[in-house]
Amino acid sequence: MSIILDKLSSDLNTNSPLIIAGPCSAESQQQLLSTAYSLKEIGIKIFRAGIWKPRTRPNSFEGVGEIGLEWLKNVRLETNMKIMTEVANPNHLDDILKNDIDMIWIGARTTGNPFAVQEIANALKGVDIPVFVKNPLNEDLNLWIGAIERFHNSDIKQILAIHRGFFAYGSQKYRNIPQWQIPVELKRIMPSIPLLCDPSHIAGHRSLVKEVSQTALDLNFDGLMIESHINPSEALSDKEQQLPTNELKKLLSNLILRENNISDDDVAVSLKGLRSQIDSLDLDLIEILIKRMTIAQKIGLKKKDNGITILQPERWEYILKDRVLNGKKGGLSNEFLILLLRAIHQESINIQTNIMNRNL
């Protein structure tokens, strides 16, 4: 566990994973209190609710504004829960600091705007408050890292990251594509930053929240931020993805918590042997790729000498269909095969482009 999580867990008298829950939006004082009382009964210690809601289009519910901060403070007074909300600009931050809100999160739209992030980071300088930074809408790891660095440079001691998925155009299983490799890479680059998952925004529907939550925990995430409403059917925003509090209780009780460390010596020995096989196969793969790219160089020279274009659409279409078909027979997923083949094809194009442009 990181120092940041250690402190939060100590302050809350709880163990990881860290669980944050509450409605998408603050709608009324009674809605907040009813939801908070119900969440407190199942052990939730951090209560979240949006006060200002950035919406994609106008004339949608955009939050109740500053009055919601009074409602949040009343939740803390009545339940002794920690309270948190979203900040999108320094004006929001001024109101939050005046009202002594315990924690804040930076939403995906704000994370994608370095100017807005820097303004908030500047205004936070010298303030000791946990800041949770959601990933940007687009699949840009450096933008996410940059936002975290801006708060770090303002000497914010408690910075946490929240993975909420990435914007997807068109019909998809999830509202936002998880792209798990991106938060995993963030964890590799910034291992001291606790990483939580927002399964509600990834799922887009309450029926998918459990599977997303379990995947996050299986990937060694440090906690979950889950939207929960006392009566989701009447919610003013994101009603489909919010869990009734009784369903949240069931979900949390059914999640499987796995060990990060290997305590069984026999299992450790067995895994070491299997990983040794993986290492050997990876070296074989690299050798095969080197041989493949050597042939791509020769093809590039032939194309240059004979005035042939690099991209041959019919050949590429054949490779894609043929390799995907054969890979799927062996149990590989369509998504993995396409990503792999596109990466290999792009490297071939890069090599042949360098050949074409040589001596120009």
Q: Which residues contact 175 (CB under 8 A, 6 or more apart)?
A: 165, 168, 201, 202, 203, 204, 205, 241
Q: Which band of pLDDT confidence, cut at 50, 70 and 90, is reported for residue 267? A: very high
Q: Assess whether 277 and 149 both reside in one domain.
A: no
Is the pLDDT score of 1 beyond 60?
no
Of the residues 254, 282, 302, the one at which a domain ends: 254
Do 166 and 102 share a structural domain?
Answer: yes
Co-location of 51 and 179 in the same domain: yes
Regarding whether 247 and 270 lie in a shared domain, the answer is no
The closest alpha carbon to 252, from 220, 217, 202, belongs to 217
310, 343: one domain:
yes
Same domain, 202 and 275: no
Domain housing 137: 3-254
pLDDT digits (tens, 9 = 90+) for 156-203: 999 999 999 999 887 689 999 999 999 999 999 999 999 999 999 999
In a domain, 259, yes or no: no
Place of tokens 């004082």: 29
pLDDT digits (tens, 9 = 90+) for 298-324: 999 999 999 999 999 999 999 999 999
Tell me what pLDDT residue 8 has.
Answer: 80
- Over residues 68-122, the pLDDT tens digits come to 999 999 999 999 999 999 999 999 999 999 999 999 999 999 999 999 999 999 9
Could you tell me the pTM of the whole model? Answer: 0.87
- Asked if residue 329 and residue 180 are part of one domain, the reply reads no
Buried b (16+ CB within 10 A) or exposed e, 195-230: bbbbbbbbbbebebbbebbbebbebebbbbbbbbbb
Q: 214 and 270: one domain?
A: no
Same domain, 101 and 155: yes
Query: Which of 254, 276, 300 is the endpoint of a domain?
Result: 254
